[in-house]
Amino acid sequence: MKSRIFSGIQPSGDLHIGNYLGALAQWSKLQESGDYEILFCVVDLHAITVPQDPVILKKKIREVAALYIACGIDPSKSKIFIQSENPDHAYLTWIFDCITPMGWMERMTQYKDKSKKNGERTSVGLFNYPLLMASDILLYDPDLVPVGDDQKQHLELAADVAEKFNKTFGEAFKIPKIFNQKETARIMSLSNPTAKMSKSDEDPSGSILLLDDAETIEKKVKRAVTDSGNEIQYHSDKPAISNLLAIYSGFSGTSIENAERKNKNSSYGEFKADLASVLVEKLGEIQRRFNELIKDEAHLNTVLDEGRDFAHSISSKKIELVKDLVGLRR
């Protein structure tokens, strides 16, 4: 039997190059190895842990699914589905709610950061977010969960919850493993290299979106902050240039060392122009495929129906086992 992979992205905003390098590009590489059975989910139930406009959310759900495919996920090799179309995710979350100590959840740094903004108005769902993520994963017994560095703590929680369940009720879940590539594991904001590039960042100049046009990309790269000095060098003292080098390396398919060597005699301005052209070319290809896919509603629906049915055929067996172990039976 092939090893299994599970991962997901929230349709909570516009996907950016951090999502591409930290998630989508790695997913397609894993897919191309042919070694795995793969499930990729559009995690819309996670998106509503913060307020969303229903009309925009519907659009984003389809958009993210189409972007998965445009970025290289091939529905004949990997299954793509929408989280809210499989009720097993929310069901298992409730079971996990009931066995997870509050103390484990209160330690989650993403919750602490995100809840600062809204204080008392923060939703219970945002607090609960890591258990919905644990359910996404544990329903499918994946061997690998490819996510960016920022999700490591959530993965560790999922492993702890799985262990706790197995110990309390009997073996039901496989302990998941994180998978990421170090250099592209965390792409930083172009306007603040100490903060990660993020969909929910209010400053649009910090992120390059997968659907940005050429002119916008060029403008954003040109305005990206740089470090003092003038060497194009990957170094902890040079967080801004290191970030641009990581992006360059990720999009041109060359190593960081090669990217440094190639740009050794370039000025910051020349390096940025080179980076912008690499981005415009690669994102242009993605956008052409995306525009085709988003027009063909029937095709996308077929892909998502098939993905949902496949996912449910696996998760429903897990739910039956869990109900049995917990004692939820007549």
- Tell whether residue 6 is a contact of ligand LTN (CB under 6 A): yes
CB of residue 60 to ligand LTN, shortest distance in Å: 14
Q: What residues contact 233, with CB distance under 8 A and at least 6 apart?
A: 241, 242, 245, 260
In the three-class reduction of DSSP (H, G, I as helix; E, B as strand; rest coil), residue 43 is classed as coil
Binding at 95: pick from ligand LTN, ligand ATP, none (beta carbon under 5-8 Å per type): none
- Binding partner selected for residue 6 from ligand LTN, ligand ATP, none, CB under the kind-specific 5 to 8 Å limit: ligand LTN
Distance of CA 177 to the CA centre of its chain: 15
226, 266 Cβ separation under 8 angstroms: no
- Residue closer to ligand LTN, measured from CB, 145 or 304: 145
Those residues whose C-beta lies under 8 Å from the C-beta of residue 156, and which sit 6 or more positions away, are: none
The binder of ligand LTN chosen from 66, 145, 190, 303 (CB under 6 A): 145
Chain residues in the site for ligand ATP (CB under 6 A): 9-10, 12-13, 18-19, 21-23, 147-148, 150-151, 186-187, 196-200
CB of 130 to ligand LTN, least distance (A): 8
What dihedral angle (degrees, nearest 10) is formed by the CA atoms of 214, 215, 216, 219? 120
Residue 87 CB, nearest approach to ligand LTN (Å): 16
61 binds ligand LTN (CB under 6 A): no
CB of 92 to ligand ATP, least distance (A): 20
Query: Could you list the active site residues?
Result: 114, 196, 199
The 10 Å Cβ neighbour count of residue 56 is 13
- Verify binding: residue 147, ligand LTN, rule CB under 6 A: yes
Task: Locate 36 and state its tokens.
Answer: 């795995």
Between vectors from CA 190 to CA 24 and to CA 242, what angle results, nearest 5°? 80
Q: What are phi and psi of 144, to 5 degrees?
A: -130, 145
Residues in contact with ligand LTN by the rule CB under 6 A: 6-8, 10, 43, 46, 133, 136-137, 145, 147, 151, 154
